[in-house]
Structure 1
Amino acid sequence: MTSITRNLPWFIRDLGISIVGKECYTSLIENLDIGDVKCIKYSISKGLGIGIVLGGSIVKVPQLLLIVRARSARGLSLPAYILETLAYAITLEYAYRNDFPFSTYGENLFLTIQNVVITLLIILYAPRPAATDKTANAVISSMAMLVFFLGCSLMPLSMLAFLQVLTLPLSLFSKIPQITENYRAQSTGQLSAFAVFSQIAGCAARLFTTATEVGDAIVSAGFALALLLNIVLGVQLWMYWGSDDVRVAEPYGAEKEKAKARGTPPVSTTTSTSVPAYKPEPAAWQRSATPPPSSPSMGGRKWARKVD
């Protein structure tokens, strides 16, 4: 068997070496040494890392499609996405400046780009400001994010390391507004279940790949906190699943009780039309007959005068 694995085509050999390195390629592929635990863990980490990078390039696409299709960002917190985008951008620049393998942080590049687009869509589909105000807010937000990204690439590495530490509270505060919004509305609105559960799986895998390939405690702590908060969002998705449909189909009696508690008149969910009472058409002899005296007492007095 080793005679086959040692004579694989050059492009397969070069690809394998570029992924797991020459040492692990020789041990696992050419020598078929399945007892090399270190290279097995490293190869699993590389495979997971590549999968996460590929998944990160599309993980937010369902969320984008939900917003565009509904032309609404209901249930999505703008502060949450702004803070999350900052955290992604800092981690991306920190890993790049420290020459970490791209497979350990590459998804942050795609997540940052997708989050920027989602943030702009939330601004554009906000219900309150006028269209001109929305466009101005979107342009200002884009310029602010661009300046921030350029600043991260130019600042000293020591300051960037300090910002990486700040991604821990940033991750916390980026999820709290969304969690609070879901709890307040008892609904997850346009929040994508695919995006949330993909992030849970991605953060869990990132803990393994970071510990195996990088060993940076700050980055590992950030992924651990992100995993915990994404699990909370996943639990909320499970709890509030279908709550919008229940509220739409809520009976009028329940709405009446809510309106009574608020002190406002309820709005009926059914429409009623008033049917006029039926009045029969009078007969011909009734229309032509002389009407009776207007008062019995007057008729009595006239009769009495005639007798006298």
Structure 2
Amino acid sequence: MADVLSLLQVSLDALKSGTLPPTEVIKNLAAKVVGYGIIAGSTLVKVPQITNVVRAHSAEGLSATSFELESWALLVHAGYGYVNAMPFSSYGEASLMLAQNLLLLALVYRYARLPAARVATVMGLLVAAMAVLATGRASRSQVGALYDVNNFIMLAARVPQILKNFSEQSTGQLSIVTFGVNTVGCVVRILTSLHEGAHAMVRSYILGLIMNATLVGQILVYGNKGVRKEPAGQGAVTKKKA
């Protein structure tokens, strides 16, 4: 936030002297403000998806593998920015979305009743990776190497969900609000990353845009038409039609 205040002060000083702020200052200020705006919005981006699952008491249509891989991709993204001492405005939303994604993953585990060994292994690896990044035991080159393969992780994270939707001709409890906001966020991040010269991030956001837009399209086409609600007191809230 100090960088925004500094740029804002430069702009105000220029206006007080009767001149317009330098173009570069205006561009940088706009990029920072948009970046922090995205971070603010990211605090709620997965709430609609979490709400859908909690209300339905079901993880119908959600791929646990997708959310596991997405958690890893978000962790690498946040770790890359942290280890390289980048402005928080350029990667902060990844940290907040990771926290929400872990909560969502816990709900998927609960309702899908996956094996305890799988849950313990995935969560253990994520916690261990967080500890390594937070304590500075990972070098910039090591984190950079991880970030280079993050695009493949993101692809692997979305493809299982896309294939699941296609196979079932339904998107179950997937939230169009969550993936719609993700799509718009990717577009904005592409522009801000281009301005800041973060070309590695640009590639990641372009891939994210394609994947999220595909999921939005599937939600619009398929919806949850393959899922029906059961009357209260008859067990699971949602079931697949025969």
CA distance in 1, matches of 2:151, 2:29: 29
- CA offsets, 1:16-70, max 9 Å, x none? 952635434433x534645743222222212211110011111011111111111
Match in the other structure for 1:224: 206
Native 8 Å contact 1:67 1:121 kept in 2 = yes
Native 8 Å contact 1:94 1:164 kept in 2 = yes
- CA offsets, 1:211-264, max 9 Å, x none? 223x1221111111111111111111121135347x89xxxxxxxxxxxxxxxx
CA distance in 2, matches of 1:147, 1:15: 31
- Equivalent runs, 1:70-149 vs 2, <5 Å: 70-126=56-112, 133-134=115-116, 137-149=118-130
Match in the other structure for 1:174: 157
1:140 deviates by: 4.1
Match in the other structure for 2:5: 18
Which 4+ residue blocks in structure 1 deviate beyond 6 angstroms? Answer: none
Unaligned runs of 5+ in 2: 230-241
Scaled by the length of structure 1, the TM-score of the pair is 0.68
Amino acid in the other structure paired with 1:45: A
How many percent of aligned residue pairs carry the same amino acid?
A: 29
1:159 deviates by: 0.8
CA distance in 2, matches of 1:30, 1:17: 18
With over 3 angstroms needed to count, the CA separation of the structure-2 counterparts of 1:17 and 1:202, relative to structure 1, is closer
Aligned residues: 228
1:79 deviates by: 0.9
Secondary structure of the corresponding residue to residue 125 of structure 1: helix
- CA offsets, 1:194-216, max 9 Å, x none? 10010011111111111223x12
Native 8 Å contact 2:62 2:173 kept in 1 = yes
Greater relative contact order: 1 or 2 (C-alpha under 8 angstroms, separation 6 or more)? 2
With over 3 angstroms needed to count, the CA separation of the structure-2 counterparts of 1:162 and 1:184, relative to structure 1, is same
Unaligned runs of 5+ in 1: 1-13, 249-266, 268-308
1:150 and 2:131 correspond: yes
1:159 and 2:150 correspond: no
Quote the RMSD (CA, aligned, Å): 2.5
CA distance in 1, matches of 2:205, 2:62: 22
